[in-house]
Structure formats: structure tokens, C-alpha cells
Chains A and B, each alone.
Chain A
Amino acid sequence: MSEERSFGRTEEELRFLARVANALGREVETSPPEQPVRGVRGLPTPEAAGNSLEQFLANWRAVGGEADVVRAREAAGRVAEIAREWGVGRVVRWNDPLLDELGLDPALQAAGISVYVWRAGANRDEAIREVDRADLGVTTVYWVAAEPGSLALLSGGDTPRAVSLLPPAHLALVPASRVVPGLTAIMRETALRGLSASLNFITGPSRTADIEMELTVGVHGPGRVYALLVEDR
């Protein structure tokens, strides 16, 4: 084992790895093995045919998601409309500048809906309490994959995991430029830009069929999910 690699490994780790190598009938390998195949390279990946945006809408709706496409100046008004329709009284949202630019808070407040903005370094107990009693969580996305119809969310101080999870409904504002054909682009991008502590792919509402195979949505996570695609400003 080379000096560089063994540095930082404990005796216990070295022993465990030696046992594994022994089961394979050799010493511990120290240089990266040549991968005969890698990822989906060379495979017929299910990339979206034609317009990715249309493809995303179709696939997202097929798994029980709701969706619409709006212009930037209509976005905030549309969110307020959906919230009213769903009987939402409280919203918790990510602290993404895009949501400020779209004028989300004033539109919701005008409709009599309260808004809590979860910011980096927020008081944990307060933030969790707010998100637990919210009726709707609003986020943006990092990407959406047309096939298989998934939102990709990265966690961060201003983009907490709980907002798309604890409320019974989740609405994501999706700049149309962030629609990519398939998962491949997302996997490469995330690996390149350095990983957040949590990368979540969301494909439809929370679901279960654990009781007599009957499909029920909203068991722990949101039962309603809405992707609102925002066309260029």
C-alpha cells in the first residue's frame, strides 16, 4: 500500500480491507482499477424526444404531479391563485432570490396568506415549527429531468430539505432554462459542481401501496406537487 493512501486509515480499516482483499485471493489494491464500462455511456438512454419541456410536463403529470407554464410576470399571481384554490393559509419558502424577483411574497400576502422565509442559520426550532404547520412549501429547483419527469433539489442553508417535505403540498418554480433531457446531465453536473449534503430527486407525490396494494398519496411527504414552469423574463 502506498504511503499516501495508507495515511489517514486506521489499523481497524486496514485490517477490514485486508480481509476483503484476502477473500478475493490477493493483497489490497492501491491504484484505481480500470472500469470496463462506466455509467450509461454507450447505452440507449431514454432521452426526451423533441421538446424537453413538453416531455417533462407529460412525464410529471403521468406520475400524479400537476404542472403549468407561465410568463415570469404572471408567476407570483398564479402561485397565489393555486394556494387559494388549495385552501392554503401558511406558506414556507426557500430563500432563493428568484422568488423575490418574481414578487412572490406580496402576491401571497395580498391573498391573505402568511409567508415564512427559511434563511441560512435560522433558529432551528422556530423553522421546524413553521414548516410543520405550513400548508404549502415553495421552492425552486436546480434542474428538472424531462425523462423520467423529476425535480432535482440540492440542499443548502437557504434551500432546506424540510420545505419540500413536511407540508402537505409542494410547489416548485422552475425556470424553463433548467429543463434537461434526462438524468445523465444532472448526474454529471452535480458531480462536477461539488455535492450538497443532500440531493433529492422528486418524482411525483409521496405515495404508498402498503395496505392491500391500494395506492394512497401523501403518506409522509406532500400529497400534492405542482411544477410551475416560468418562461424567460
Chain B
Amino acid sequence: MTVHPATMKERAAEALHNDFLREAVKITTDKFFAGKALAQRSLGDWEAWRERGRAIRAHVLAHLDYYLGQLIDQVKSRGGKVHLCETAEDAVQVIVDIARARNARSVIKSKSMVTEEIQLNKALEAIGVRAVETDLGEYIIQLAHETPSHIIAPAIHKTKKDVAELFSQVAGKPIKDDTDTLTNFARQKLREEFLTGDIGITGCNFAVAETGSVALFTNEGNGRMVTTLPPVHVVVMGMERVVPTFEDLEVMMNLLPRSGTGQKLTSYVTVITGPRREGEVDGPEEFHLVIVDNGRSRILRDPEFREALQCIRCGACLNVCPVYRQIGGHAYGWVYPGPIGAVITPLLTDDLDRWGDLPYASSLCAACAEACPVKIPLHDMLVRHRVRYVAAGKTPPAERMAFRLYKRAFTSPRRYRLAFKTAVTFQRPLVKDRHLSARLPGLAGWTAGRDFPAAAPKRFRDLWPGLAAEARQMGGADHE
């Protein structure tokens, strides 16, 4: 596993030195963004659709206990098994137990963020079960022992040459680095895995409470393979991923692909309701739904952040984020990148020391909130996070000191005037082209990455009498 540095700033610096990554992220996000604009238009009144999406998701969260109860009852009544897991460890244990009970040797997986979150693959490997990622992008990064860099396109940071090298190692012979050859190689390799896999594991885009169904949105068909061929299907879902009815699912079918990849609909939308029925030969004989809390009830409890659970994981906020577009997904350090990652990572992990700096990876431009198909106020949440970070005393002592001085100076006219005069005098040796370019102790955090304007030698209020006279003259000239 690639180890990334501990702080956001260090990870960002690393990403900024990777030219291919920055170009690839730009191309990918531009393409998704352009597609989204087009697909949105074909739907008509996009704002009305967004509002509907928000209303449905907000309603579910406000009544999540009821809808989860209904979902559980429905899945059980159709012969499925439900597992309720408070923590990541609980969820991993449930799945390990299922694998043991089936004497499984290999597990085939379709892309799922929540299994990354609970670190399922590691636990399966530990008991000798091979976990194979079957989404092409996930397969590539699994071979490279890396983590996804985009919610929808997990391997955008890899070049064709990188992929060809990885595949050549698997094949034990050179594989050509053109896209068709590479894709075809993966098709053959993974076909064997599909046919022999003992358990299929998928995530869940939406679960329908009314029917106990699980909906998967995929393009490659691996999600269908994983739910068609192995005798066991395990769905792992974050507990908030519910819609009330089949009719409500239609709204999400219109919002998710359009917002994510700019498609009207993904190539496949697969709606699974329980294990295979009488007479069916394919499809799983066992169906498990693993519902994971892992910090979500903490977010639900928190009125400042509850709306973050409305997220449908489309990735639209990544595609428009000026910070994500420069640094890519790995710089966010954990499973969920971009603005939504910066919001939910500190909450899910409940670890401000490790992840409290993520909400600073934003210019607060609000493009994310505007792009969000379910109207999560992401930029407001980033500010709320910063407020808490400061209140918890997590900011560096120098920064706290600076803001204390700032407060003192700016709350009294006398101190303000004094501070200004002092600054003008003391900055002189450091000013270059009207900017502070030197690395001031304590200010280096700002000046190292951007120019900090120097205090003007003359204050505006000192210039004003002269300026006012000038303005009067010009005004007067007009009348003469």
C-alpha cells in the first residue's frame, strides 16, 4: 500500500508535483462536467429535480429509523438475511463469518466505497480469502496496491503505460499499452474470476424500503456479473442509503448518472430483490444485506451536518472543485475525496487531530454546493468544521496568537492606528513590489504559497483630504 504523508498540506504538495495526475484530473473532471451540463438540459427544469432529490433524501433521514425498519422487514420476507453493524469491525466480522461458513476461497467485488471504508479486503486476505476488484479502474489500483483517486473514476491517475506494466506482471509476458488490448486482457482475466468466485460483494447505490430492493448503477457489467454468477451475494451499504419507494428510485435514476458522468442513465441499472426464485438457475441462492453505521448516527445526531448524509456519491462536487482539480483524490488521504470527503471524513472518523485539516482544502467558492444534485450546503459545512477546529484549540499556537493580536488591534481605533504605523515601519526591509515576499516567521504559512500584500506606506484616510479636493475640482470642471 502506498503511504501518503500525514498532513493535508504535505499530501497536496506531493500531488502538485505530479504533472500527469494534474492533467488527468483536469481532463476527467472537465469531461464529466461538460457531460453533466448537457444531460441536465435534457431533463428540463434541473432546479426542480434537484429540489425533489433533496426533499426525498431529507425526508428519509428525518425518518431513517422507520425506513430502515421497513427495509429490514422486506428483505427478510423475501428470503434475504440482514446484518446490522454499528462499527466497521462488526461489518468486517459479519462478512468474514459468511466467507468462512461458505469455505470461500475467492470473493469477487464490484466497486464499493463503503468496503474501502471498513477495509474489508485486508481482513479477507488475513483469513486466506482472495478479494478481487472487478471494476476495471479498481482492478488496476488493486494491482498497484493503491487507493481510488476519484469516486467515479478510481484510476485516473494511472497512465496507459502504468497499466500495461501492471498487466504484464500479471500475464508474465509483455502486454501492449493500447486501451483495447488492455481492456481485453482485463476482460479475460476477470471472466475467470467471475466464473469461479465463491461470493459476490457489491455496494449499494440505493436501497428501496418499500420492496427491500437494492439498486446498482454500473457501466461495465461487472456489477451484474457479481450478482449473477456466485452462489452468494453480499451487499454492503451505509445505513443512510435508503429511498422510500420504487417511484422515488426513479428520481435518483435521473439525478445520479447525469450528475456523475453526464450520462442519462448508466449502461446498467440493476435492481436486486432477494435471492434467486423458484426455477431460476443463475443469481445467488443466498442474499445478505449488511447495513453499516460506522459513525453515521453521529452525523445524523448533529443538526449542523445531518444534510451531509443526503449525499448520493455522484462525484459532481469533485469535478467542479478548484482544489480537487489541482491535487486529485489521494491528497485527501482517506476514502472519500473532494468537498464531500473534506466534510464527512472528520465526522465519520471522529478524529480532528488526524483529519481536522481537511476542511481547509477549499477556497469556499461554493461551486460544490451549487453542483450537488441533492443540495448539500457543502461550503457552509466546511466553515462550520473550521469553527469547531479553532474552538477545539487545534490550530497552531502562532496562528491563535496572530488572530488574538488581530482581534485586539481591530476592536479599538487607537490600537488599530498604532498597529498600522508600527507595521509600515517594520515591514520595510521585507517589501518587494508592494508584496511581502520574504518568509516571515509566523507568516510563512501564507507567504510561502502566495504573495501577501504589504501595508501601504500611506493610509487611505491620510490620502483622503487630497483625493477629495481632486474630486471636487474634477466635478467642478464639468459644470464650468
Contacts and interface: CB of A to CB of B under 8 A. Distances in A.
A and B from one assembly?
A: yes
A17 B27 CA distance: 44
Contact of B134 (A30, A44, A220): A220
B176 interface: no
A70 to B, nearest CB: 25
Contacts of B68: 16-17, 20
Nearest to A123: B281
Interface in B47-95: 48-49, 52, 55-56, 59, 62-66, 68-70, 72-73, 76, 82, 84, 86
Nearest to B139: A210
Contacts of B182: 211
Contacts of A36: 55, 59
A221 B283 contact: no
B179 A200 contact: no
Interface in B246-264: 246-251, 253-254, 263-264
B224 interface: yes
A124 B266 contact: no
A212 B158 CA distance: 7
Contacts of A147: 264
B221 interface: yes
A17 B82 CA distance: 13
Contact of A155 (B180, B249, B283): B283
A19 B297 contact: yes
Given A210-B137, A211-B136, A203 B283 contact: no
Nearest to B221: A221
Contacts of B27: 213
Contacts of A160: 280-283
Given A21-B65, A36-B59, A187-B246, A220 B187 contact: yes
A200 B271 CA distance: 6
A220 B222 contact: yes
Given A21-B65, A29-B63, A190-B246, A212 B82 contact: no
Contacts of B98: none
B229 interface: yes
B251 A40 contact: yes
Interface in B202-226: 210-211, 213, 219-222, 224-225
A53 to B, nearest CB: 18
Contact of B228 (A8, A46, A161, A219): A161
Nearest to A199: B271
A210 B24 CA distance: 11
Interface residues of A, number: 86
B153 A213 contact: yes
A183 interface: yes
A19 B156 CA distance: 39
Contacts of A198: 227-228, 270-273, 283
A36 B293 CA distance: 26
Given A9-B69, A23-B297, A188-B247, A157 B279 contact: yes
Contacts of A197: 272-277, 280, 283
A121 B281 contact: yes
Interface stretch (B38-46, B342-350, B377-385, B412-420): B38-46
Nearest to A148: B264
B157 to A, nearest CB: 10
21 contacts: A16-B68, A16-B293, A19-B293, A35-B244, A36-B59, A39-B248, A122-B281, A124-B281, A195-B271, A197-B273, A197-B276, A199-B273, A200-B270, A201-B271, A207-B219, A210-B154, A211-B182, A213-B31, A220-B187, A221-B220, A221-B267
Interface of B: 24, 27-28, 31, 42-45, 48-49, 52, 55-56, 59, 62-66, 68-70, 72-73, 76, 82, 84, 86, 134-137, 140, 153-156, 158-160, 163, 179-180, 182-183, 186-187, 190-191, 194-195, 210-211, 213, 219-222, 224-225, 227-229, 239, 244-251, 253-254, 263-283, 291, 293, 297-298, 300-301
